[in-house]
Amino acid sequence: MSLRHNLRVVRAVAAVDVRLTLREPLFAIAGIIIPINFLLLFLLFAISGGQAPIAVVMKTQGPLAGQFVQAMNNSQSFIIHTASPADAEREIRAGTVVAVVTVPQDFDAALNAGRRVDIPVELNNLNVDFTNDIRRAVPLSITSFYATAFPEQVVVKAVESDVQEHDTGYIPYLAVSIVVAGLMLAALLQGSVNAARDYELGTIKELALAPVSRLAIGLGKILGAAALTAASAILVLGVVILVIGVQPLHPLEVLGFGLLVIAAFLALGVLVGTLVRRRQQAIPLSIACVLPLFFLSGPFGPANWLGEVPGAIAAVSPLTYAIAAFQHAFHGFQTATQDLTVDTMVLAGFTLLTVALTALVFGRRGVGH
Phi/psi for 161 (5° steps) reads -125, 110
Q: What is the pLDDT of residues 175-209, one digit of tens each?
A: 888 888 888 888 888 888 888 887 887 776 766 66
Q: For residues 100 and 124, give the distance between their C-alpha atoms in angstroms, rounded to a whole number.
A: 9
For each of the domains in the chain, give its residue range(s) and CATH number, in order of start. 3-45+168-365 (no CATH), 52-153 (3.40.1710.10)
Q: What SS3 state is found at 247?
A: coil
Q: Residue 48 has what pLDDT?
A: 58
Edge-to-edge strands of the sheet including 99-103?
Answer: 78-82, 52-58, 99-103, 121-123
Enclosing H/E stretch for 52: strand 52-58
Q: What is the pLDDT of residues 99-150, one digit of tens each?
A: 999 999 999 999 999 898 999 999 988 777 778 888 888 888 888 898 888 8
Flag whether pLDDT at 62 surpasses 80: yes
Amino acid at 277: R
Q: For residues 14 and 3, give the distance between their C-alpha atoms in angstroms, rounded to a whole number.
A: 17
The mean of the pLDDT values for the chain is 81
pTM recorded for the entire structure: 0.72
Q: For residues 297 and 322, give the distance between their C-alpha atoms in angstroms, rounded to a whole number.
A: 9
Output the CA–CA distances (angstroms, integers) from residue 310 to 215, 305, 335, in the order listed. Answer: 34, 9, 16
Q: Residue 263 has what pLDDT?
A: 85
By C-alpha distance, which of 183, 168, 185 is closest to 248?
Answer: 168
Q: What is the pLDDT of residues 76-86, one digit of tens each?
A: 778 889 999 99
Strand pairing class (99-103; 78-82)? unpaired
Q: What is the pLDDT of residues 335-368, one digit of tens each?
A: 777 788 888 898 889 888 887 887 777 666 555 5
Flag whether pLDDT at 319 surpasses 80: yes
Q: For residues 219 and 356, give the distance between their C-alpha atoms in angstroms, rounded to a whole number.
A: 10
C-beta atoms surrounding 278 within 10 Å = 14
Percent of the chain with pLDDT over 90: 16
